[in-house]
């Protein structure tokens, strides 16, 4: 089969649906855990590690979803990505196309090396959860969540969490509909 003729076979649609649903469900479970922390009024510094771990997992998993829509390899992978973008109404301006998210998952070790090399002097805080106003230009933060701005920061790259969650929720709803329709792509 020529690459230009490749299409996702109807019998295989369920595997893409289940694979993506696994990832969107994971992210939404992490969001629910975060909401529990902040809404049930038991947030304190004791939860900072958990908060940052959940946010980092959201970014890493979103990066994994991105690979389905924008695969790094050519050939039928690219064609599959284009077909999935059409099915899930995802265009090139989508928040999930963020290459920083994908690079974080693929090159975390290298990003860590580069971060540590760049910030080998001055004050580097390993973690911070709080309002952005408490972080000044003198301090660098390895991982942070500025809850007043809804921004997760790692390796000095900032991710606005709400647009990512909104897009994941939108795709998740389509996936649930597709799962309920026998594992078939809808809309088509």
Name the more confident of 44 and 167.
Answer: 167
57-75 pLDDT, tens digit per residue, is 999 999 999 999 999 888 8
Q: Rounded to whole angstroms, how far apart are CA atoms 148 and 175? A: 31
110-127 pLDDT, tens digit per residue, is 988 988 888 766 677 889
23-54 pLDDT, tens digit per residue, is 999 999 999 999 988 886 556 677 899 999 99
Task: Name 150's Cβ contacts closer than 8 Å, sequence gap at least 6.
Answer: 160, 161, 162
CA 29 to each of CA 108, 139, 174: distance values in angstroms, whole numbers, following the listed order:
23, 32, 17
β-strands 157-160, 139-146: how paired? unpaired
Q: Which two tokens stand for residue 17?
A: 């649906």
Confidence of residue 180 (pLDDT cuts 50, 70, 90): very high
Q: Rounded to whole angstroms, how far apart are CA atoms 60 and 68? A: 13
With 90 as the cut, is the pLDDT of residue 184 above it? Answer: yes
**pTM score, two decimals?**
0.89
For residues 49 and 34, the answer to whether their CB atoms sit within 8 Å is: no
Task: Name 162's Cβ contacts closer than 8 Å, sequence gap at least 6.
Answer: 150
71-114 pLDDT, tens digit per residue, is 988 888 999 999 999 999 999 999 999 888 888 878 889 988 98
Domain ranges for the chain: 3-106+162-180
For residues 70 and 49, the answer to whether their CB atoms sit within 8 Å is: no
The DSSP bridge partners found for residue 141 are: 125
């Amino acid at each position: 089969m020529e690459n230009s003729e490749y299409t996702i076979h109807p019998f295989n649609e369920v595997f893409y649906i289940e694979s993506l649903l696994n990832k969107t469900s994971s992210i939404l479970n992490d969001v629910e855990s975060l909401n529990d922390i902040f809404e049930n009024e038991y947030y304190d510094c004791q939860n900072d590690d958990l908060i940052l771990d959940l946010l980092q997992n959201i970014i890493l998993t979103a990066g994994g979803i991105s690979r389905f829509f924008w695969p790094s390899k050519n050939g039928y992978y690219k064609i599959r990505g284009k077909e999935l973008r059409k099915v899930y109404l995802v265009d090139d301006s989508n928040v999930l196309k963020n290459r920083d998210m994908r690079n974080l998952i693929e090159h975390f070790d290298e990003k860590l090396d580069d971060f540590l090399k760049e910030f080998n002097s001055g004050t580097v805080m390993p973690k911070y959860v709080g309002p952005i106003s408490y972080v000044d230009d003198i301090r660098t933060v390895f991982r942070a969540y500025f809850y007043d701005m809804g921004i997760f920061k790692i390796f000095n790259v900032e991710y606005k969490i709400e647009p990512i969650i909104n897009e994941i929720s939108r795709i998740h709803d389509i996936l649930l509909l597709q799962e309920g329709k026998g594992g078939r792509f809808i809309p088509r």
